Amino acid sequence: MNVILKSGDSMSLENGSTAMQAALAISEGLARNAVCAKVNGELVDLSHVLHEGDTLEIVTLKDKEGLNVYRHTCAHVLAQALKTVYPTCKLSIGPVIDNGFYYDIDFVTPITQADLAKVETEMQKIIKSNLPIERFTLPKDEAIALMKEYSENYKVELIEDLPEGETISFYKQGNFTDLCRGPHLPSTGKIKAFKLTSIAGAYWRGDEHNKMLTRIYGTAFANKDEMEAYFTMLEEAKKRDHTKLGKELKLFAIMNEGKGLPFFLPNGMVLKNTLIEYWREIHTREGYVEVQTPIMLNRTLWETSGHWFHYRDNMYTTKVDEEDFAIKPMNCPGGILVYKNEPHSYKDLPIRMGELGLVHRHEKSGQLHGLFRVRCFTQDDAHIFMTPEQIKDEIKGVVRLINEVYTLFGFKYHVELSTRPENSMGSDEDWNNATDALKQALDDMGLEYVVNEGDGAFYGPKIDFHLEDSIGRTWQCGTIQLDFQLPQRFDMEYIGEDGGKHRPIMVHRVAFGSIERFIGILIEHFAGKFPVWLSPLQVKILPITDRQLDYAKELCVKMKAAGIRVQVDERSEKIGYKIREAQMEKVPYMLVLGDKEVEAGQVAVRRRDGEQSVVSAEEFIATVCKDIADKTAF
């Protein structure tokens, strides 16, 4: 028989060959590193039997999907170890998450963090035993009977919820069997590096009315070096925690009176407004107009947009004059009303309409976290209304703008193209046209991207930008969403060159995403040491004694006139204390003034990175002004 490889080449195999045998036929090295396979686009075990004409891709730990399978197998090893150490415990679910996995367990006697060591020891024994992992299937009634035999009531409930007639798969390793779709590694010995990290509580199926289970978190990597690098990164992340630095640098606060509703303090407002000024500068240059739409609009609008039916649980609602209203969770419907406020011709298009809109979304209290997960935030939205012929060029323009923004802050990024989700509006033809348009724009620009199936917005496909920060973490920020649906739902029009009425195409896009969240990312990316142009305080003048105070104030006036954010520390403290405090505040430049500097009209400059120099006051002011104008990295 013949199978088709990822390269498009055909490979001949004996009938009944497995994916592993195919990997061996390609190379021993590939077979040694193989985790699972992708056959006809679906992940399967290496034991999967191939058939004539199958498409085949061997998956390794270099692939994200391979690492997920590796970690999920580790979750099964955890479950087997727990059943050995705590035979009376009941298993529920054990999925893969970012950077690891967890398993939710019902224990007769609660366990603590200290108990994880003996569980890890048992896991090591299972891994060292190199137990083969075998898949088998059962009809639904037999699957239920098997789990009842093992007294796994949570598994029974999961199976009972599956459709009638469905075949259920299990995985067996040694004397342990678990319900699972798979795929898995071929044996437990393939796991080389793992660590159980923490314990938390979690309601069964996420429902607070159900029993509280114990959630054990863990992670696994291809080797010990990668795992050590990961934990080093976590330690560094703790030092950069934006909630901690945000408090120390007096940037923002979250009050009990408004959980999930951030308060920006004076320093934080300087930072936020500086970002907004930059946003306005580049958008004005690129031909965007700015609008502002109401924070609250009536139910009819949200029904027309589809949000009332698709997003209702995340919206705050109220009544005004006995009419239902919703506080906006998104800016787009308001932007559409602005477009419809007057008639448009094809000559007006594209219209690039920006809005720094304050939106509110109901997030569960347990999910709130600093500026990363809030209930109100400023979205740097823009909506572009265009003709079909303008789609590709407009998408390219947005991609270039987003690239400029992320490059300025020193972010690397990768791109994902997200396609139609299950809960969506519109015809297949519209979705196909929209998705093809985004693909063509990315292909024309030579941008590498991965396709994220089924993760688009309910009204259209999208391009997502995932940033990589200074310690290697990724964040999803920018997005470009192509929308054929809302223009139809709102009956939007323009007069074409032929004099007839036509439907515009709409793009939703953000660069920062949420300004609040972007600030949180910047705090951690720079560890609070913002570039000069972005720093709330750019220069701190530190006179050694009161004799230098007049000169310090004179310099302060000159710097403020030049647009520099500067402050004089007039306190009668020792200079060493003043310097240490300024360093804790992460001020880019500290000017130490003694009698010599006053007499010579100079300043002794101490940079935040430790570099020191003595220059004239005029030269220093010119240097800082250039830093600000050029938006340099320091």
So which residues are the catalytic ones? 332, 361, 379, 381, 383, 462, 508
Q: What is the C-alpha separation between 318 and 298, in angstroms, rounded? A: 9
| DSSP character string of 522-547 | HHHHTTT---TTT-S--EEEEESSGG
At 98, which amino acid appears?
Answer: D
Give CA separation, 548 vs 321, 537, 599, 602, in Å. 64, 21, 10, 12
Q: CB atoms < 10 A from the CB of 64, how many?
A: 10
Contact partners, residue 225, CB within 8 Å, separation at least 6: none
Comparing CA positions, the residue from 355, 369, 38 lying closest to residue 183 is 38
Enclosing H/E stretch for 198: strand 193-203
Contact partners, residue 15, CB within 8 Å, separation at least 6: 1
Contact 454, 422 (CB under 8 A): yes
Q: What is the C-alpha separation between 316 and 333, in angstroms, rounded? A: 16
Tokens of 149: 């035999």
Tokens 């985004």, located at residue: 438
In 222-316, at which residue ranges do the beta strands (DSSP E only) sit?
252-253, 263-264, 288-290, 296-298
Q: What angle do CA 166, 167, 172 make, to 5 degrees?
A: 145
Q: What is the C-alpha separation between 629 and 316, in angstroms, rounded? A: 42
Q: Residue 226 — φ and ψ, nearest 5°?
A: -65, -35
Give CA separation, 579 vs 405, 436, 455, 537, in Å. 33, 58, 50, 14
Radius of gyration of the chain (CA): 29
| DSSP character string of 466-489 | EEE-TTS-EEEEEEEEEESHHHHH
In 555-630, at which residue ranges do the beta strands (DSSP E only) sit?
566-568, 589-593, 602-607, 612-616
